[in-house]
Amino acid sequence: MYATLVILRNAEIVFLPEVVTPSGISQGMVLSLPYLAFVSLLVWALTTEMERGEENLNLRNQELSRINGRLRSLVAASEQWLSRLNLSHLLASSLELVPRITGHRGAAIYVRRGDALCLEQSRGGPEESNDMRPSLPLPAEWRNNTEEAAILHQPIREMEGAPSRLTHVALRSPRGIEGMLTLLPSGEQEMDAGEEQILQLLGHQLGIALENARLFSHLHHERNLLHGILSNMVEGVFVVDDEDRVLLSNHAAAQMLSVSEGERLPRWLAEQLWADVDDEESGDRKLIEWDDRVVSLSLASLNGEEVPASTICVARDITQEAQVEQMKSDFLAYASHELRTPITTIKMLVRLLLMDAPLNSKSHDYLTVINTQLERQTRLIGNLLDLARLESGRYDLPLEPVDICRLIQTVVRNCRPLAEEKGLDVVVDCPDDLASIQSNTGGLEQVLTNLLSNAIKFTDAGGRVDVSCRHDGDELLIAVQDTGIGMTSEQLGRIFTKFYTVRHPRKQGEGTGLGLVISNMIVTKLGGRIDVTSTPGAGSCFTVRLAINR
Which residue did the predictor score with more confidence, 455 or 19?
A: 455
Contact (Cβ atoms closer than 8 angstroms) between residue 252 and residue 259: no
| Same-domain status, 215 and 103 | yes
- Domain CATH for 460: 3.30.565.10
pLDDT digits (tens, 9 = 90+) for 430-476: 888 787 888 999 889 999 999 999 999 899 888 999 999 998 888 89
Instruction: Please indicate, yes or no, whether residues 298 and 333 belong to a single structural domain of this protein.
Output: no
Q: Is 1 a domain residue? A: no
Does residue 207 belong to any structural domain of this protein?
Answer: yes
Please state, as a whole number, how many other Cβ atoms lie within 10 Å of the Cβ of residue 523.
20
Check residue 307 and give its pLDDT: 66
157-187 burial, b at 16+ Cβ within 10 Å, e below that, comes to: eeeeeebebbbbbbbbbeeebbbbbbbbbee
Domain annotation covers residue 387:
yes
Are 416 and 489 in a shared domain? yes
Averaged pLDDT, 117-137: 70
Question: Do 487 and 436 reside in the same domain of the chain?
Answer: yes
- The answer on 503 and 478 residing in a single domain is yes
Task: Specify which of 97-101, 150-154, 176-180, 527-531 reaches the highest per-range mean pLDDT.
Answer: 527-531
Q: Which helix (H) or strand (E) is 534 found in, with range?
A: strand 529-535
Tell me the pLDDT tens digit for each residue of 137-165: 888 778 776 666 677 877 766 555 555 67
How high is the pLDDT of residue 7?
45
CATH number at residue 357: 1.10.287
Mean pLDDT for all residues in the chain: 79
pLDDT tens digits along 236-251: 999 998 888 998 899 9
Average pLDDT rounded to a whole number, residues 259-287: 76
**Same structural domain, 543 and 427:** yes
**410-431 tens-digit pLDDT:** 999 988 988 998 899 999 998 8
pLDDT higher at 519 or 504: 519
Q: How many CB atoms lie within 10 A of CB 318?
A: 15
| pLDDT(540) > 90 | yes
Sequence-ordered list of residues with C-beta below 8 angstroms from that of 348, at least 6 positions apart, any chain: none
pLDDT reading at 10 higher than 70: no
**Could you tell me the strand order of the sheet in which 135-137 lies?**
135-137, 116-123, 106-113, 176-184, 165-173, 151-155
Residue type at 78? S
Residue 71 lies inside a defined structural domain of this protein: no
Does the pLDDT at position 280 exceed 50? no
Same domain, 36 and 98: no
Q: How many domains does the chain have?
A: 5
**Whether residue 407 sits in one domain with residue 530:** yes
Straight-line distance from the first to the last Cα atom of the chain, in angstroms, rounded to the nearest whole number: 123
In a domain, 69, yes or no: no
Residue 271: CB partners within 8 Å, gap ≥ 6? none
Confidence check: pLDDT of 358 > 80:
yes
At 301-356, the pLDDT tens digits run: 877 666 677 888 999 888 888 788 778 777 777 777 777 778 888 888 888 888 88
Looking at the fold, whether 213 and 192 belong to one and the same domain comes out as: yes
- My answer on whether 358 and 479 are in the same domain is no
Asked if residue 381 and residue 408 are part of one domain, the reply reads: no
Checking if the pLDDT of 128 tops 50, the result is no
Question: From the CB of residue 332, how many other CB atoms can be counted at a distance below 10 Å?
Answer: 19
State the pLDDT at residue 542: 95
CA atoms within 13 A of residue 498's CA, in its CB half-sphere? 10
pLDDT at 148: 62
Would residue 74 count as lying in a domain? no
SS3 category, 296: strand
Mean pLDDT of 485-502: 83
From 78-82, 288-292, 334-338, 506-510, the region with the lowest mean pLDDT: 506-510
Claim to verify: residue 18 and residue 137 sit in the same structural domain: no
Residue 191 has a pLDDT of: 66
The parent domain of residue 463 ranges over: 400-547
Residue 68 lies in a domain: no
Contacts of residue 530, defined as CB under 8 A and 6 or more positions apart, other chains included, come to 519, 520, 523, 542, 543, 544, 545
* Closest to 256 in 3D by CA, of 239, 235, 271, 285: 235
Domain boundary among 171, 194, 227: 227
Q: Which of 392, 425, 448 is the endpoint of a domain?
A: 392
Q: What is the CATH number of the domain that holds 250?
A: 3.30.450.20
Q: Is residue 473 part of a domain?
A: yes
Q: List, as one string, the DSSP characters of 171-196.
A: EEETTEEEEEEEEE-SSSPPP-HHHH
Domain CATH code at residue 201: 3.30.450.40
Asked which of 212, 227, 242 is the last residue of a domain, the reply is: 227
Check: pTM over 0.85? Answer yes or no. no
Between 122-126, 208-212, 265-269, 332-336, the lowest mean confidence (pLDDT) is in 122-126
